[in-house]
């Protein structure tokens, strides 16, 4: 019985470092007083259990899981190398090696031993030669059995059997319920009358043509392969649709009087399956099938069918379904396929809204990228809706919407995006700055940038300065200089240097005197300058970026008057000039 | 295999597995399951205090009835199972706060008095039925050893309610399963088939896992002794014609599936499909058993490829190959017809196996998939088990083994004419 159910629908969390430990983060207790040999096996089993659990909680592609798997595999291989084989007895909460407990976890939801024992596994024998491929299969099985509300098809024993391990033997007991039952199982229970099939089932016998002696025919290997392929994973979507098509025909048969309610859950299960396996072509056919069914007359025996089919159609475009749909694009691909748009068009009454809803909750970068592309497709028809949603959004979702607006609106959206430099949300500011750095410069943009510069924190001011430097708009010179003068007392030297660089680039030779003034020596016999250090740093850096020789002379003169705190900055500015000169020559 | 490939494979496997469930469902189940446990407990206790027609009972019974209906719509069947000090509703543990544990303990105690450890609901119950359940549970338990049966008797008017035994761990006395002979597995299979039919006829949810366990044992043993499968249709069974038919179709289907080269996972799906393909007869009598069977099997919730292909096979196993049925359905069509032709049936003349095979061969490519029928003939041999042949020296022989393969001689049993006649009952043989 399972507590944890797979959360693959939900964003997976990063793999915590704690999970890498083998000290029982999942409730495993370290059996006491074990010798080194048993300790090694104990550690191995704890790692195995933790890894199996981890795939349900964390993103399987996680770097840390990679390390964890590597460690587990190495540990397993080396243990089997030295042991030859490990024969583990499975008890309700324990695994024993040579009658010595080497794994103990009394938490039913997490215990590896409990799950094995519950399904009837009583011994596990791992032999030398057990390698990555078999370990993967074993972990798959263990992970699968950590999920399950409706698992009535397989248990640990059947899954282990299907896997056909070469280096793992499984000892099992009869029946699916390992726990003994008290009282006789032969006792009748309520409502289980004896039932037999009729003696004349399948009679009369099939009518066949006159017998014709069979001949011994070889079936070509490619024909055999084609038959096997019919039950392969690739054929399953088509089989699902064929089954639904068949049921649709039976639903129309008055003699069966079958209701849609009897099959609705199967439609939902198939929909979810198709959504999860990247089968867009099959999904399109699924959508088409539903629309066709929605267009059919409601039969007398099933008055609620029409509404039920429409409910199902609606659910195909709900948030959960759209999320699965967007996630169906492989992470490495990150591209919106035309098929996906076709499916969204078919299943969502309002695809733009559905995708915006999904985007608001989605954590995965790849899925968000696909969602943004889908929004770009749909927002061209209704750009106003996008802006409305943006104004109601926060954080990353708002930033994503802003990006879409920029792509959809182009030049026309530039002003709006520029205003977002002043947005209260840092994520939106970042997004806006990213776009501003890449769009053609204009006066309107400059005004927005300057406003943003005054409001932003130092990290974002740095990004704005980069844009300003590239703009070569000298109108920034005065306000930037004022900014330094006003805030020189609070500015960090790094930021002052950054501003100084832009001041130098924008001001050029004409501004040398101004920076020189900032390096005015203090009066009397005092060594140093009049202004605070930040202003000195800004001035020195500004002079470093002015090519005119006068700037170098100003720096040289200032060096003599500088105190110990300022001198390194002036030296640095001189060095910077030197470096630029060398680079120019090169 | 690289670690990254391992990660990718694991990621896919977990995603596949999660299809059978979903997180929302588990969450709802946990909440509503907890409420159902409270309601049942309240119902039992109130049944001791109030008459059934007391208004105090009505509200409780109505709410329980509605809750049950909702859960049944979600799950197909609701299983409340007690293990030690915890309660599970369809595999999800019901979480209780510390002060609520007392209520849970009370319900466990009530059920424990009747030696019951699990309660399953397979169909919705009206409020009056709910009250009956409450009264039955509140009543004095019968003496130890008979309590569960007695409670079962009290609930016999409610076929949708099933009682389960108490669970506990057995630490000693278990025997590890060892390879058995086919006959023993078939006997177990026959019992299971009868139980499964009874369950399904009682409107209960199919439980393919039980069937799959038997199928897996069959796959293992038939692989070692291929001729055993071919013999099965000719056996007379004490379990009845229908059960024998299902078993023989299953063994023949597995044999043919193996000849195709199907992987074990697909073979086990095929075996389960074969075992359940005619369950519709428990409902429909004659005609329409395919749809009736599919409707019974459809009640199972959760996605599984085995379920999809089983439903296809159930619906299509009487279609001709030309109609494009699924692989499982085409396999079942061949082995089903073969069994119907050769197996003894009351009041219907059976065909000798070679004649049946020859008749089917004449419909190769129309009724039957040509490749599959060719493989079937190769599996059964030109003289399938049960074939009576006259040798050139005048002796009569009966074929005992199926497959003819290089290095394998067909097994024969030699008979004198009179011996054979008395054995097979066929005049002029």
- What is the DSSP annotation of A259-292? -HHHHHHHHHHHHHHHHHTT-HHHHHHHHHHHHH
Whether A70 contacts B4, CB under 8 Å: no
Give burial (CB, 10 Å; 0-12/13-18/19+) of A329: buried
CB contact under 8 A, B278 and A202: yes
Confidence band of B319 (pLDDT split at 50, 70, 90): very high
- Note the pLDDT of residue B374: 95
When computed from its CA atoms, the radius of gyration of chain B, rounded to whole angstroms, is 26
Interface of A with B in 97-136 (CB under 8 A): 108-109, 117, 122-123, 131-133, 135-136
Q: Shortest CA distance to A493 belongs to which of A540, A547, A555? A: A540
Q: How far is A213 from chain B (nearest CA, A)?
A: 5
Q: C-alpha distances in angstroms, A306 versus A261, A298, A476?
A: 11, 6, 66
Q: How far is B207 from chain A (nearest CA, A)?
A: 6
Q: Shortest CA distance to A24 belongs to which of A115, A99, A126, A102? A: A102
Give burial (CB, 10 Å; 0-12/13-18/19+) of B187: middle
Q: Does B328 touch chain A (CB under 8 A)?
A: yes
**B238 chain-A contacts, CB cut-off 8 A:** none
| Mean pLDDT of the B300-315 span | 93
Residue A102: other Cβ atoms inside 10 A = 25
CA of residue B100 relative to chain centroid, distance: 38
Confidence band of B172 (pLDDT split at 50, 70, 90): low
SS (H, E, C) B306-338: HHHHHHHHHHHCCCCHHHCCCHHHHHHHHHHHH
How confident is the model over A6-27, as pLDDT tens digits?
Answer: 333 333 444 444 444 444 456 6
Q: How far is B145 from chain A (nearest CA, A)?
A: 6
Residue A387 has pLDDT above 50, yes or no: yes
Whether B164 contacts B81, CB under 8 Å: yes
Whether A522 contacts A528, CB under 8 Å: yes
Task: Count Cα atoms within 13 angstroms, Cβ side, for A205.
Answer: 21
Compute the distance between CA of residue A539 and CA of residue A579 in angstroms, rounded to an integer. Answer: 18
Beta strand pairing status for A121-127 and A85-90? antiparallel
Give the helix ranges, DSSP H, for B76-140: 101-113, 127-138
Q: What DSSP string runs through B264-287?
A: HHHHHHHHHHHHHTTTTHHHHSSS
Confidence band of A314 (pLDDT split at 50, 70, 90): confident
CB contact under 8 A, A180 and B265: no
Compute the distance between CA of residue A2 and CA of residue A149 in angstroms, rounded to an integer. Answer: 7
Residue A540 has pLDDT above 70, yes or no: yes
Compute the distance between CA of residue A125 and CA of residue A122 in angstroms, rounded to an integer. Answer: 10
CB contact under 8 A, B201 and A175: no
Q: Answer left, alpha or beta for residue B411, where phi above 0 means left and psi between -120 and 50 means alpha.
A: beta
If you measure CA to CA, which chain B residue comes closest to A142?
A: B14
Could you tell me which residues come within 8 angstroms of residue A127 by beta carbon, excluding any fewer than 6 positions away?
A80, A84, A85, A167, A168, A169
Whether B168 contacts B236, CB under 8 Å: no
Compute the distance between CA of residue A567 and CA of residue A560 in angstroms, rounded to an integer. Answer: 8
Q: How far is B212 from chain A (nearest CA, A)?
A: 8
Return the sign of the alpha-carbon dihedral for residues A475, A479, A482, A483.
Answer: negative
Interface of B with A in 104-143 (CB under 8 A): 115, 117, 122
CB contact under 8 A, B340 and A195: no
Task: Count Cα atoms within 13 angstroms, Cβ side, for A443.
Answer: 1
Compute the distance between CA of residue A138 and CA of residue A305 in angstroms, rounded to an integer. Answer: 44
Q: How far is A247 from chain B (nearest CA, A)?
A: 9
Q: Does B363 touch chain A (CB under 8 A)?
A: yes
Compute the distance between CA of residue A322 and CA of residue A328 in angstroms, rounded to an integer. Answer: 10
How does A269-304 read in b/e, with b if 16+ C-beta sit within 10 Å? bbbbbbbbbbbbebbbbbbebbeebeeeeebeebee
Q: Does B405 touch chain A (CB under 8 A)?
A: no
Residue given tokens 């700055």 in the structure block: A433
Residue given tokens 């500088």 in the structure block: A562
Residue A236 has pLDDT above 90, yes or no: yes
CB contact under 8 A, B169 and A135: no
- For B376, phi and psi rounded to 5 degrees? -60, -45
Whether B159 contacts B202, CB under 8 Å: yes
Residue A119 has pLDDT above 90, yes or no: no
Q: Shortest CA distance to B19 belongs to which of A573, A273, A296, A55? A: A273
Q: Does B59 touch chain A (CB under 8 A)?
A: no
* Bigger pLDDT: B242 vs B165: B242
Average pLDDT of chain A?
83
Range of weakest confidence among A374-383, A428-437, B77-86: B77-86
Whether B389 contacts B396, CB under 8 Å: yes
Q: How many helices (H) and strands (E) does chain A have?
A: 26, 6
How confident is the model over A245-265, as pLDDT tens digits?
Answer: 999 999 999 988 999 999 999
- Note the pLDDT of residue A61: 67
**A198 chain-B contacts, CB cut-off 8 A:** 242, 281, 285-286
Q: Does B240 touch chain A (CB under 8 A)?
A: yes
- Note the pLDDT of residue B418: 37
The H-or-E segment that residue B397 falls in is strand B396-399
Q: C-alpha dihedral over A17, A18, A23, A28, to 10 degrees?
A: -130
How confident is the model over B100-123, as pLDDT tens digits?
Answer: 778 888 888 888 889 888 888 888
Compute the distance between CA of residue A441 and CA of residue A461 in angstroms, rounded to an integer. Answer: 17
- Note the pLDDT of residue A251: 94
pTM, rounded to two decimals:
0.74
Task: Work out the widest C-alpha separation in chain A, in whole angstroms.
Answer: 128
Interface probe, candidates A2, A3, A5, chain B, greatest B C-beta count within 10 A: A5
Compute the distance between CA of residue B369 and CA of residue B375 in angstroms, rounded to an integer. Answer: 10
| Mean pLDDT of the A509-518 span | 91
Range of weakest confidence among A165-174, A499-508, A545-554: A165-174
Whether B118 contacts B163, CB under 8 Å: yes
* Bigger pLDDT: A494 vs B180: A494
What pairs with residue B168 in β-bridges?
Answer: A180
Q: Does A151 touch chain B (CB under 8 A)?
A: yes
Compute the distance between CA of residue A363 and CA of residue A317 in angstroms, rounded to an integer. Answer: 20
Confidence band of B176 (pLDDT split at 50, 70, 90): low
Q: Does A584 touch chain B (CB under 8 A)?
A: no
Q: Shortest CA distance to A322 belongs to which of A366, A282, A390, A371? A: A371
| Mean pLDDT of the B409-416 span | 53
CB contact under 8 A, A195 and B197: yes
Residue A78 has pLDDT above 70, yes or no: yes
Could you tell me which residues come within 8 angstroms of residue B102 by beta carbon, excluding any fewer than 6 positions away?
none
The SS3 of residue B356 is: helix
Return the sign of the alpha-carbon dihedral for residues A186, A190, A194, A197.
Answer: negative
Residue B75 has pLDDT above 70, yes or no: yes
- Note the pLDDT of residue A150: 53
Residue A486: other Cβ atoms inside 10 A = 10
Q: Does B14 touch chain A (CB under 8 A)?
A: yes
Compute the distance between CA of residue A405 and CA of residue A390 in angstroms, rounded to an integer. Answer: 9
Tokens representing A355 are: 């995708």
Tokens representing A174 are: 């009869």
B21 vs A5, A65, A194: nearest CB: A5
Q: C-alpha distances in angstroms, B137 versus B40, B42, B81, B89, B159?
A: 10, 11, 15, 19, 16
If you measure CA to CA, which chain A residue comes closest to B375?
A: A219
A243 vs B14, B270, B311: nearest CB: B311
Whether A432 contacts A417, CB under 8 Å: yes
CB contact under 8 A, A270 and B355: no
Beta strand pairing status for B92-93 and B86-89? antiparallel
**B373 chain-A contacts, CB cut-off 8 A:** 214
A212 vs B166, B358, B382: nearest CB: B358
The H-or-E segment that residue B89 falls in is strand B86-89
Interface of A with B in 549-578 (CB under 8 A): none
Compute the distance between CA of residue A272 and CA of residue B74 in angstroms, rounded to an integer. Answer: 15
CB contact under 8 A, A149 and B382: no
- Note the pLDDT of residue B367: 95
């Amino acid at each position: 019985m399972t507590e944890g159910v797979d959360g693959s629908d939900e964003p997976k969390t990063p793999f915590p470092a704690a999970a890498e430990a083998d000290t029982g983060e999942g409730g495993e207790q370290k059996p006491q007083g074990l010798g080194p040999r048993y300790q090694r096996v104990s550690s191995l089993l704890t790692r195995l259990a933790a890894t199996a659990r981890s795939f349900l909680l964390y993103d399987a592609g996680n770097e840390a899981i990679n390390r964890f798997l590597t460690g587990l595999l190495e540990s397993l291989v080396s243990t089997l190398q030295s042991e030859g084989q490990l024969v583990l007895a499975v008890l309700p909460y324990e695994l024993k090696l040579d009658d010595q407990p080497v794994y103990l976890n009394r938490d039913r939801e997490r215990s590896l031993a409990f799950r094995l024992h519950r399904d009837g596994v009583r011994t596990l024998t791992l032999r030398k030669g057990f390698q990555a491929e078999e370990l993967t299969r074993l972990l798959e099985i263990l992970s699968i059995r950590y999920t399950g509300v409706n698992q009535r098809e397989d248990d640990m024993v059947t899954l282990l059997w299907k896997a056909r391990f070469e280096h793992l033997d499984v000892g099992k007991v009869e029946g699916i319920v390992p726990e003994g039952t008290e009282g006789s199982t032969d006792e009748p229970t309520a409502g289980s009358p004896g039932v037999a099939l009729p003696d004349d089932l399948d009679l009369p016998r099939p009518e066949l043509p006159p017998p014709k002696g069979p001949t011994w025919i070889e079936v070509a290997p490619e024909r055999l392969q084609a038959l096997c392929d019919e039950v392969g994973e690739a054929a399953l979507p088509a089989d699902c649709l064929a089954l639904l098509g068949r049921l649709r025909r039976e639903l129309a048969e008055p003699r069966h009087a079958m209701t849609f309610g009897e099959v609705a859950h199967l439609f939902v299960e198939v929909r979810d399956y198709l959504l999860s396996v990247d089968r867009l072509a099959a999904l399109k056919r699924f959508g088409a099938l539903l629309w066709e069914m929605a267009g059919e007359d409601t039969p007398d025996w099933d008055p609620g069918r029409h509404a039920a089919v429409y409910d199902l159609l609606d659910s195909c475009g709900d948030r959960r379904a759209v999320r699965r749909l967007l996630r169906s694009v492989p992470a490495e691909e990150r591209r919106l396929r035309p098929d996906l748009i076709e499916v969204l068009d078919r299943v969502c009454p309002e695809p733009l809204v559905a995708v915006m809803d999904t985007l608001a909750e989605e954590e995965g970068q790849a899925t968000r990228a696909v969602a943004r592309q889908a929004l770009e497709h749909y927002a061209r028809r209704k750009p106003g809706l996008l802006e409305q949603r943006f104004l109601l959004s926060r954080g990353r979702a708002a930033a994503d919407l802003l990006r879409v607006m920029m792509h959809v609106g182009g030049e026309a959206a530039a002003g709006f995006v520029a205003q977002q430099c002043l947005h209260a949300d840092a994520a939106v500011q970042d997004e806006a700055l990213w776009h501003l750095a890449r769009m053609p410069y204009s006066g309107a943009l400059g005004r927005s940038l300057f406003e943003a510069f005054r409001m932003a924190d130092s990290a974002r001011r740095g990004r704005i300065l980069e844009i300003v430097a590239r703009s070569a708009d000298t109108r920034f010179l005065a306000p930037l200089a004022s900014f330094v003068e006003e805030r020189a007392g609070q500015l960090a030297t790094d930021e002052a240097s950054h501003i100084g660089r832009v001041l130098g680039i924008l001001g050029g030779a004409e501004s040398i005197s101004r920076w020189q003034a900032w390096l005015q020596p203090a009066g009397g016999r005092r060594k140093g300058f009049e202004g605070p250090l930040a202003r000195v740093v800004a001035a020195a850096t500004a002079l470093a970026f002015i090519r005119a020789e006068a700037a170098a002379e100003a720096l040289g003169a200032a060096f003599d008057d500088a105190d110990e705190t300022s001198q390194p900055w002036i030296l640095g500015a001189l060095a910077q000039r030197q470096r630029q000169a060398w680079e120019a020559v090169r | 295999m690289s670690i990254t490939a391992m990660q990718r494979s694991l990621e896919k496997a977990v995603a596949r597995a999660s299809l059978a469930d979903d997180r929302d469902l588990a969450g709802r189940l946990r909440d509503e399951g907890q409420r159902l446990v409270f309601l049942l407990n309240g119902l039992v206790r109130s049944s001791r205090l109030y008459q059934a027609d007391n208004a105090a009972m009505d509200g409780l019974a109505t709410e329980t009835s509605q809750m049950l209906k909702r859960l049944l719509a979600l799950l197909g069947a609701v299983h409340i199972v007690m293990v030690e000090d915890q309660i599970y509703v369809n595999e999800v543990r019901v979480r209780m706060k510390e002060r609520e544990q007392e209520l849970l303990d009370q319900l466990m105690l009530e059920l424990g008095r009747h030696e019951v450890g699990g309660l399953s609901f397979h169909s919705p119950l009206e409020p009056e039925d709910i009250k009956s359940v409450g009264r039955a549970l509140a009543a004095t338990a019968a003496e130890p050893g008979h309590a569960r049966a007695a409670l079962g008797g009290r609930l016999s008017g409610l076929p949708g309610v099933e009682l389960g035994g108490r669970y506990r761990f057995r630490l000693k006395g278990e025997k590890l399963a060892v390879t058995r002979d086919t006959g023993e597995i078939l006997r177990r299979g026959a019992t299971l088939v009868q139980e499964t039919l009874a369950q399904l006829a009682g409107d209960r949810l199919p439980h393919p896992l039980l069937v799959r366990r038997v199928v897996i044992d069959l796959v293992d043993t038939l692989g070692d002794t291929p001729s055993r499968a071919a013999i099965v249709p000719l056996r007379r069974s004490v379990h009845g014609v229908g059960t024998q038919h299902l078993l023989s179709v299953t063994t023949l289907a597995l044999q043919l599936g193996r000849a195709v080269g199907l992987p074990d996972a697909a073979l086990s799906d095929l075996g389960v499909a074969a075992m359940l393909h005619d369950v519709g007869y428990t409902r429909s009598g004659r005609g329409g058993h395919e749809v009736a069977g599919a409707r019974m099997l459809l009640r199972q919730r959760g996605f599984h490829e085995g379920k999809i292909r089983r439903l296809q096979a159930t619906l299509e196993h009487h279609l001709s190959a030309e109609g494009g049925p699924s692989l499982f359905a085409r396999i079942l069509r061949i082995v089903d017809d073969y069994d119907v032709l050769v197996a003894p049936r009351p009041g219907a003349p059976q065909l000798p196996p070679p004649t049946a095979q020859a008749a089917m061969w004449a419909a190769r490519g129309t009724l039957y998939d040509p490749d599959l029928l060719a493989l079937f003939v190769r599996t059964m041999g030109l003289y399938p088990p049960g074939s009576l042949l006259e040798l050139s020296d005048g002796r009569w022989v009966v074929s005992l083994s199926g497959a003819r393969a290089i290095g394998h001689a067909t097994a024969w049993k030699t008979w004198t004419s009179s011996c054979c006649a008395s054995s097979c009952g066929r005049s002029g043989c």
